[in-house]
Amino acid sequence: MGLFKLFMKSIIFSTRSRRRFFPFVIIFCILSCATIILLYNFDNFSREGLLVHRGVVVEISTLGTVDYGEAKTAIGTNIPGAEAVIYYRYVDFGNNLRICSINTKYKWAFSEIKPNDLVSGSFPGNDREALVSDKVLLTLSDEEGAPAVRIFTKPVVGAKFKIGISNETTFELKISGIFKRPDPPSNIASGREWILIPEDSFETLIGGQNLGYGDTQINIHSISIIASGDVFSGASYSNVDRIAASLDDLGAEYRSPIYTSKTDKDAQRNMMFLSLLFGIFGTFMVSTLYSYLITRFRRREVAVLKAMGYSGWDVRIVVLCEILVVAITGFIIGLVTIQGYLWLIRQSTYFYQFINFSYNLPFLTPSLTAVMSFLAVVLSCIPGFFLITIRILSVRPIEIFRQK
């Protein structure tokens, strides 16, 4: 009870030393913004890098389309050394819509959609969820006068919609996420809105009971071959290289396997990681400086507290609270500033979303990034705090009282 009470009181008192508090809140705010952005970029890079580090993508040539049956014959589903072979199948609906299959186990292995293309929501977690592109309209019709393929919903996360060629054979899906369609659009998706659904749902929807497409009517967008290995160590490269070489024999209908060379990718990743470390190191330096200033300005107060009977840990709590209050206040202001900035940017980009205010979530930075940034900012305060408190606790109160 005693320590908790001291903790709460110290939090209150730490905001009263305004000469120190406000300048350092601003400094921590700027550092937090930098850390959030750096971590966000690094996180996105790592996730995007996942595919090229772990797998090989075979994209269909711009010259023609390849049907599912043909692709399966050419590549098969069991490649030695590969962890999985994922076929991204699609069918075109009328003039406006493309339905494509995705694999829920290997999220973001689809070369066309990356995590930072996600406007809101998340990757589908089960078979009856779907990712839709942001400009899917309320009602889509393949041609005038026909019964029409219709989506009876706005593109809002959590909303359910139906696809079918008649009212009797509708297929219901829930929107798990909305993504920004790649711009410029993919070579074979130009002008169409996308609905990405899990493989099982794709088969059910496209099959005989519903839309009735056969294997030769289903095209392949791309094939991702997942090689096993550690993303960060780059240990999988020999495996990736071997698989890539074996795919070269498949002929002109396929592009060469796409991946950045290990050296370039490592250099990019190292640079980003270095930037992130600088962000965290900056916070560490500032928190250490702040701890130093606290102990310098509050040296006499600390001596009084110790003379009154405060133990070493009691004094540590007083100092720690002041550092944490400044760091956390700075972080929260930084986070809100970043979110506000992103929100405003997005509002100006998507005007129709501005009208439908509820469409956008106010917090756009992934929560994991925010949590990681928070930990980076707060934890980087701890070493500085310990360095400084060792210094102040080693001084006896009487030595400070003697200094006029």
Partner 1 sequence: MSNRVLIEAKNLMKEYIRGKREVVMAVNDVDIQIPKGKMVLVTGPSGSGKSTLLNILSGLDKPTEGKVLYEDENIAEWDEEKLAKFRRGNVGFIFQNWELIPIMTALENIESPLYPLKIKSKEIRTRAISLLKQVGLWDKADNYPDELSGGEQQRIGIARALVGKPRIIFADEPTGNLDVDNAASIMRLLKSFTKRDTSVLTVTHNEELKKYADLTHRMSSGRFV
Segment 358-397, which members bind partner 1 (CB under 8 A)? Answer: 396-397
Question: Is residue 308 a contact residue for partner 1 (CB under 8 A)?
Answer: yes
Name the residue with tokens 């056969």: 214
Question: Is residue 16 a contact residue for partner 1 (CB under 8 A)?
Answer: yes
Indicate the residue among 1 and 63 with the shorter CB distance to partner 1: 1
Residue from 45, 273, 292, 310 touching partner 1 (CB under 8 A): that is 310
CA distance between the termini of the chain:
36
Question: Is residue 314 a contact residue for partner 1 (CB under 8 A)?
Answer: yes
Count of residues that interact with partner 1, criterion CB under 8 A? 25
Indicate the residue among 184 and 309 with the shorter CB distance to partner 1: 309
Question: Is residue 305 a contact residue for partner 1 (CB under 8 A)?
Answer: yes
Closest separation between CB of residue 7 and partner 1, Å? 9
Instruction: State how far the Cα of 272 lies from the Cα of 121, in Å rounded to an integer.
Output: 26
Number of alpha helices (DSSP H) and beta strands (DSSP E) in the chain = 12, 9
Residue from 23, 147, 312, 383 touching partner 1 (CB under 8 A): that is 312
CB 117, CB 170: distance < 8 Å: no
Residue from 17, 46, 204, 337 touching partner 1 (CB under 8 A): that is 17
Closest CA to 118 of 368, 372, 376: 368
Instruction: State how far the Cα of 311 lies from the Cα of 314, in Å rounded to an integer.
Output: 5
Two tokens, residue 192:
């169409």
Question: Is residue 300 a contact residue for partner 1 (CB under 8 A)?
Answer: yes
Instruction: Determine the residue type at 96.
Output: N
Closest separation between CB of residue 360 and partner 1, Å? 42
Closest CA to 227 of 353, 50, 32: 50
Torsion sign across C-alpha atoms 36, 37, 39, 43: positive
Indicate the residue among 10 and 186 with the shorter CB distance to partner 1: 10
Question: Is residue 304 a contact residue for partner 1 (CB under 8 A)?
Answer: yes
Residue from 137, 245, 307, 375 touching partner 1 (CB under 8 A): that is 307
Stretch touching partner 1 by CB under 8 A, among 8-16, 39-47, 259-267, 367-375? 8-16
Instruction: State how far the Cα of 250 lies from the Cα of 242, in Å rounded to an integer.
Output: 14
Instruction: State how far the Cα of 387 lies from the Cα of 289, in Å rounded to an integer.
Output: 11
Contacts with partner 1, residue ranges (CB under 8 A):
1-3, 5-6, 9, 13, 16-17, 300-301, 304-312, 314, 396-398, 401
